[in-house]
Amino acid sequence: MIIKEEQDLIPYQVSCLPATPYLVFAPHPDDETFGMGGTIALASQANHEVTVVVVTDGAAGGKATTRKNEAREAASILGIKKLLFLNLADRGISTNSSVITSFVKLIEKFDPKTIFLPSPLEFHPDHRVVTHITLEAMKRTTSKSRIWFYEISRQSEANRFIDITSVLKIKQKAMKAYKSQLLQRPYDEYVLCLNRLRAYTLPQKIKYAEAFWKLTKDTDQKEVLDHVLNYIIAPDDKPRGVKRLLQSFLRR
């Protein structure tokens, strides 16, 4: 039996920002900030084009109008210039073809070089559904966008780290904009812990990092794929179709 070395499982260095422009899909107003607000702030400082699409109205976690206003405030702190709201039902996102088509149109309109999606290993079903819909939409476009999964509520598999130490204060300020959510739970504290923990394998001068899983063609990710498949697919689904879909991204 061959036991992999730790550097085969997790990066020991940070990466540069990926190719721009970016299209970030946030299932709820706050996911973009909690999950990758630091990376967005860095992209804004570099004058990179970032478009954030908030998929649901967030009504399962507060008043939709309040949450929208919070998202606008956070976006202005992070330097996001394009913020779109799809207003789909919180915890009720349909995966029908009209929804997939609307995602196709967004991808074609913004023609991003990098698309950020919640990790398929996220707990919240909306997070996984948004990722599923976007991957389906990608099949129907000629887009050559690279997919980067970001983590929100847990450590996911990661093959890229972005050093957010220099913009941590901006991210913290943006997180504070989500007052209605922080009244329910101290999400900003959880996120801070997660970002701090992500420095575990990095040089010590790096205090905080955001983690991503970039789909690459040159990495053997079968293990990760199997992990993902066990996670996102219910027994009565069709694993082979989804497996083919995910593998088609890895082969690109």
Q: Which residues contact Zn ion by CB under 5 A?
A: 27-28, 31
Q: Kindly tell me the sign of the dihedral angle through the C-alpha atoms of 114, 115, 117, 121.
A: negative
Q: Which is nearer to Zn ion, 39 or 221 (CB)?
A: 39
Strands 50-56 and 22-26: parallel
| Closer by beta carbon to Zn ion, 163 or else 188 | 188
Smallest separation, CB 3 to Zn ion (Å): 36
The CB-of-233 to Zn ion minimum distance in angstroms stands at 21
Nearest 10 degrees: CA dihedral of 97, 29, 166, 156? -60
Question: Smaller CB distance to Zn ion: residue 84 or 250?
Answer: 84
Task: Answer whether 208's CB lies under 8 Å from 196's CB.
Answer: yes
CB of 211 to Zn ion, least distance (A): 17
Residue number, 124 or 214, with CB nearest to Zn ion: 124
Q: Residue 242 CB, nearest distance to Zn ion (Å)?
A: 22
The residue among 152 and 164 lying less far from Zn ion, judged by its C-beta, is 152
Smallest distance, Å, CB 159 to Zn ion? Answer: 22
- Residue 232, SS3? helix
Give all strands (DSSP E) within 160-206, no chain letters: 160-163
| HEC assignment per residue over 160-173 | EEEECHHHHHHHHH
User: Can you state the angle between helices 31-45 and 168-176, rounded to 10 degrees?
Assistant: 140
We find the least distance from the C-beta atom of residue 124 to Zn ion, in angstroms, to be 5
Q: Which is nearer to Zn ion, 31 or 163 (CB)?
A: 31
d(CA 173, CA 41): 11
Other beta carbons within 10 angstroms of residue 43's beta carbon come to 25
* Shortest Å, Cβ 150 to Zn ion: 11
- Which residue number is nearest to Zn ion in terms of Cβ? 28
CA-based radius of gyration for the chain: 17
Judged by beta carbon, residue 31 or residue 151, the one nearer Zn ion is: 31
- Asked whether the beta carbons of 77 and 174 are under 8 A apart, the reply is yes
Task: Return the biggest CA–CA distance within the chain.
Answer: 56
